[in-house]
Structure 1
Amino acid sequence: MHLGAFVVFVITCVTFYPTSVNSSPTTGKDIEETVSGFESDHLREHKISSLFNFFCARNPDQDAAKSSNFDPLNYLTLYTNPDTVSTFVTALQKGLRSPRWGPYMSGKERIDTIPMFDILYFIDTSIPQGWDLFYNTTAYFSLKANVRQFIMTMELISSTKFFGRMRLPRFSNSVPQFFSPKDVLWGINAIDKPKVEHVEKEGDISTEVGEDPTYWKFDAGYREFHFAWNMDLPPDLDQPKYQIRFDRKGELFLYSHHYMEVRYFAELRSQNLPDIETLTLNRDFKVTQGYSPFFLNADFSVFPIRGPGASLTTQDNFENLTIWEDTLLKSLAAGYAVGTNGQRYPYHQIAETDASDIEGTDVFGALFQSTTASVNMDLYGNLHESLHLNLAHLRDPRHPTTLPKDLMGVMDHAESSVTDSAFYQVHYYVDNLYRKHKYASPQVRNAQNLAYPGITVRQVGLTLAEKAPELKSTSTKFPVLTTYFEYYSYNVSNAVIDCHKLSSGKEFVISKKRLNYHKFDYNFDLFSTLSGNEEAIVRVFMGPYLAADGKPYKMEDFYWNMIEMDKFPVLIKPGKNTFTRASSDSSILKKDVIPPGELKRNCGWPSNLLLPKGNQEGLHMKLFVIVTPAKERNGVKLTVANAKDYPAFSLCGHPYSYLPDDKPMGFPFDKKLQLDQPFENVGKNNYAFFDVSIKHLISL
């Protein structure tokens, strides 16, 4: 496997920072109370972001924080939960919490993260003194707490307490060790390679199924998405305690990881690679591929290596995995889950509706993830997370190591697990159970129950919105979308230990290759025979037409592998309706630039990976568009006016609101679908398929 070229630059820049840390809480004079709400949030975001340089103070705020004598124990009466503050901070000062630069040790990370979150979450930041206390406490933790746990805490704070109002620095900039080639970082810091541990370059452990799409798995934005998703929807947060809703959390777990899995399969199609093997709990199953990560832990130590052909049966809790699997399969066969008091929670109803489907899927997903929303954690266990833990504990017996036994491999790191091919084997297994559950529904989708009488999709065109290189003559008669590789730069100065190297504003930047696509527009032509205006939702999907064998997918598999591209509200007027939608406005994406007044969040699909890579010949895809009525669910409905209040909700949910969609996630491809001549419906119904080709341009 090839990582592509890495180039290190040293640049000099000068940045001005307007505010500083106080040594003790004040009356909030440093907060500009006269500015607008947006400007105030912008200032607060800037001040918090200034605390994310962990080795060297590189701005006045961090200089002030390092010289501050602020101690939370001196201000216990100002906190809502003084006992929590006293216990946690005292343990921190005595060295009883995770070390500052300590790597992730199994079982400790959440134990240390939750009290830090509690302390910050319950500070009233609506008043100047409360904000000042919050900021000083955050600055204190940024200097004293375990770095990764601090970032986890702040990610959760930004996605709940400051939802929509604060976006944190990119994880790849905050702790570049998790994202950058170890040889490069060791070289910058003049660190000798470990003499005891066996270190291999990424790719030395061979695979029997060909090269994986490393350009996709190692993409920093993709890795940050999975980290942010796990922080936005933590499995063990007590929702009532924090008055957080996390609507459809179990369904989100299943659908978001289904999305990642089918995207991975689309990349395999782009690479002309065969399908991967699903993980199973058969005793003879072996994890064929080993893995030697190319990146480092926060303390510059190496991750444990997993050798090829590893068996899950070597782990202590393997029997628990088989018991939990058997219990889940029996519950699927019975059609319901059993609660702690013996009550039944049905997965489906005989007269199935979208509402009952959503409710049942949410129950099933919560069991699988073993969240606080699980109806019976003792009975159904912790199958998904335990699979990750088991894989994270596997070591390569060919290379004895002195690494601590409870030091976790990448499969227990949200930002790193997606780089390991075993991740996709785990979630292939999960996705098959998800599909088994969805296909057990007595409701089968067809032309009748998909119909929106009076609304017709007459045509959907695609046009490139930015200049792309001229395409060579091609025989394809389909619209062509294009992808390419580009070099992008990211700052690794936070991984520089010797602060003298950063004097005079010097910074270290790595240039790395990544996938991107040429932006395009959807051009919609809809027609309404209805007499009044209609609030509707346009749902856009795309999926590979050909399977790994080069033949068209079986229809059930084709439908299941459709990829959600966008979902947005429209107001349809009587007669002809034509409008354009930019690909960069997709509701699944994390926007690179947030217009003033729009909500911010760290969770969202990376904008450069909207399209699969495709190939030079052109990857044949099917584009699908369906228009459905916008309906209320629990008093919430997606409209043109409120769409900006739900950024990236299709994959990331919303911490406080019910989700504004009455359809199950992935509709209409979420369950069995029977359509006669599905590719010949253009101009006949409220839905239609269109052909499109994705060509990859050789640009580097």
Structure 2
Amino acid sequence: VSDIKNYETRVEDAIDFGFVFDEHMKHYSLYHDEHDGIDSLGQVIEGTYNSPHYYFYGSLFHFYRLMLGHIVDPYHKQGLAPSALEHPETALRDPAYYQLFKRLDHFFQRYKNRLPRYTHEELNFDGVKIENVDVGKLYTYFEEYEFSVDMTVYVSKVEEIPKVDIRASQHRLNHKDFDYKVEVSSEKDTDAYVRVFLGPKYDELGREYDLNDRREYFVELDRFPYHVKAGKTVIERKSHDSSIIAPDPESYAKFFKNVNTAFEGKSEYYIDRSHVQCGYPENLLIPKGQKGGQAFTFYVIVTPYVKQDEHDFDPYDYKAFSYCGVGHNRKYPDDKALGYPFDRQIHSNDFFTPNMYF
């Protein structure tokens, strides 16, 4: 615990001083370039191979999970297996996981709060205005969901695989599919980036949040490029097309059947590189509502699309590119920071521009 506290102090000092140091005492600025700065801070907290000084800054992300996950065998004398908190597949089931990430988020918020707020010019999109956003009502409900657990059973022969059919049932949250329309007026044809967020409107006492107080609670629902034509354009988008979600995984039995059928020449099987299990679960795209309804803020902003790579938005490895990136040797197709424009403090009416809509 004392080591972790020391690492935390060193990371906070780096944020406050604005520099991180390597083993040769060479310093790197965290604020000279925001993109490089946030990368350096992430490498320090994660403790990656690219961390400038692993032995000085440690790996808070790893040490947090190790401290709580191995609390019953802290010195590894009993040979206990790693806990659920230490496995990526099961970490989300441990309530402590979210407290740890809240603690990690503190460092990034501390860094972001040192950055200057966005100016009106940085937020505005000249000649483009959002006239209206129509999303309608959103409905959530609980359902009984069955999923395959065939792989928990050992079989000695491949021929026995189709005979295994074991399923588990889960009571889980889901929502009705929804779509939304964004009416945009533009003075000229232009390429734009549409960002969609959902955030709370009232606090636990029923008082409307100040925008700066709730900016950290806005969650990105979607992000996509769109060619806006001169005049009026109506952008229509379905919830299923969200850039943050991943579909439910295909069962092993279905996968085995499809591959076997293709191997026998009865059909063709294609590997869909965008269909990988990286992303936010589609059934959890929106939060649970209440019987009488619950008010949220649906926020949309349209910004200029700045091409980052000649292969921007070609078929990429992950459908949920907002959270998962676009795979190896590809440049992230966005020139704005993750969470923009809520990643920095909001203090004045300069934040409100014609190209955004609450």
Same fold (TM over 0.5): yes
Partner of 1:485: 142
Aligned partner of 2:344 among 659, 664, 671: 671
Check conservation: 1:446, 1:674, Cα contact below 8 A.
no
Check conservation: 1:368, 1:383, Cα contact below 8 A.
yes
User: Aligned in 2, Cα 1:451/1:378: closer, same or farther, shift over 3 Å?
Assistant: same
Q: Distance in 2 between matches of 1:617 and 1:623?
A: 19
Partner of 2:58: 381
Q: Distance in 1 between matches of 2:218 and 2:297?
A: 9
Q: Pairwise mapping of residues 131-530 of structure 1 onto structure 2 (< 5 A)?
A: 318-349=1-32, 356-395=33-72, 404-441=78-115, 443-462=116-135, 479-496=136-153, 505-530=163-188
User: Aligned in 2, Cα 1:382/1:624: closer, same or farther, shift over 3 Å?
Assistant: same
Helix, strand or coil: the match of 1:329?
helix
Aligned partner of 1:541 among 197, 218, 227: 197
Check conservation: 1:536, 1:570, Cα contact below 8 A.
yes
Partner of 1:647: 319
Q: Which structure is higher in helix share?
A: 1
Q: Distance in 1 between matches of 2:156 and 2:167?
A: 15
Q: Distance in 1 between matches of 2:287 and 2:133?
A: 20
Cα offset, 1:636, TM superposition: 5.1
What TM-score do the two structures reach when normalised by structure 1? Answer: 0.45
Cα offset, 1:597, TM superposition: 6.5
Cα offset, 1:589, TM superposition: 1.3
What TM-score do the two structures reach when normalised by structure 2? Answer: 0.85
Cα offset, 1:647, TM superposition: 2.4
Check conservation: 1:388, 1:411, Cα contact below 8 A.
yes
> Structure 2 unaligned runs (5+)?
251-269
Cα offset, 1:553, TM superposition: 2.8
How many residue pairs get aligned? The number is 333
Partner of 1:685: 354
Q: Deviations over 1:369-399 (max 9, x none)?
A: 1011211112111112101001011239xxx
Q: Distance in 1 between matches of 2:172 and 2:284?
A: 9
Q: Distance in 1 between matches of 2:137 and 2:285?
A: 15
Q: Distance in 1 between matches of 2:194 and 2:315?
A: 13
Letter in 2 for 1:688: Y
User: Aligned in 2, Cα 1:498/1:664: closer, same or farther, shift over 3 Å?
Assistant: closer
Q: Distance in 2 between matches of 1:393 and 1:414?
A: 15
Q: Distance in 2 between matches of 1:391 and 1:636?
A: 45
Q: Distance in 1 between matches of 2:161 and 2:132?
A: 59
Helix, strand or coil: the match of 2:144?
strand
Helix, strand or coil: the match of 1:425?
helix
Cα offset, 1:570, TM superposition: 0.2
User: Aligned in 2, Cα 1:550/1:516: closer, same or farther, shift over 3 Å?
Assistant: same
Aligned partner of 1:599 among 261, 269, 274: 274
Q: Distance in 2 between matches of 1:347 and 1:366?
A: 12
Check conservation: 2:200, 2:297, Cα contact below 8 A.
yes
Q: Distance in 1 between matches of 2:202 and 2:290?
A: 13
Cα offset, 1:499, TM superposition: 7.1
Check conservation: 2:193, 2:303, Cα contact below 8 A.
yes
Report the identity percentage: 29
Q: Distance in 2 between matches of 1:423 and 1:503?
A: 35
Q: Deviations over 1:130-164 (max 9, x none)?
A: xxxxxxxxxxxxxxxxxxxxxxxxxxxxxxxxxxx
Q: Distance in 2 between matches of 1:638 and 1:498?
A: 44
Cα offset, 1:348, TM superposition: 1.1
Q: Distance in 1 between matches of 2:7 and 2:190?
A: 47
Q: Distance in 2 between matches of 1:574 and 1:504?
A: 57
Aligned partner of 2:224 among 540, 549, 568: 568
Check conservation: 1:515, 1:613, Cα contact below 8 A.
yes
Q: Distance in 2 between matches of 1:662 and 1:321?
A: 34
Aligned partner of 2:215 among 556, 559, 576: 559
Check conservation: 2:195, 2:302, Cα contact below 8 A.
yes
Q: Which structure is higher in strand share?
A: 2
Aligned partner of 2:335 among 625, 641, 662: 662
Q: Deviations over 1:459-497 (max 9, x none)?
A: 1112xxxxxxxxxxxxxxxx3200111111112232235
Letter in 2 for 1:382: S
> Which is further off, 502-511 or 331-340?
502-511
Q: Pairwise mapping of residues 54-203 of structure 1 onto structure 2 (< 5 A)?
A: none
User: Aligned in 2, Cα 1:597/1:425: closer, same or farther, shift over 3 Å?
Assistant: closer
User: Aligned in 2, Cα 1:615/1:383: closer, same or farther, shift over 3 Å?
Assistant: same
Check conservation: 2:181, 2:237, Cα contact below 8 A.
yes
User: Aligned in 2, Cα 1:575/1:593: closer, same or farther, shift over 3 Å?
Assistant: farther
Check conservation: 1:636, 1:660, Cα contact below 8 A.
no
Cα offset, 1:630, TM superposition: 0.9
User: Aligned in 2, Cα 1:617/1:454: closer, same or farther, shift over 3 Å?
Assistant: same
Partner of 2:290: 615
- Deviating beyond 6 angstroms after TM superposition, the runs of 4 or more aligned structure 1 residues are 593-598
Cα offset, 1:601, TM superposition: 2.2
Helix, strand or coil: the match of 1:456?
strand
Letter in 2 for 1:489: E
Cα offset, 1:644, TM superposition: 5.5
Q: Distance in 1 between matches of 2:239 and 2:271?
A: 20
Q: Distance in 1 between matches of 2:347 and 2:164?
A: 61
Letter in 1 for 2:118: R
Greater CA radius of gyration, 1 or 2?
Answer: 1
Q: Distance in 2 between matches of 1:503 and 1:348?
A: 56
Partner of 1:138: none
Q: Deviations over 1:297-329 (max 9, x none)?
A: xxxxxxxxxxxxxxxxxxxxx221111111111
Helix, strand or coil: the match of 2:5?
helix
Partner of 1:631: 306
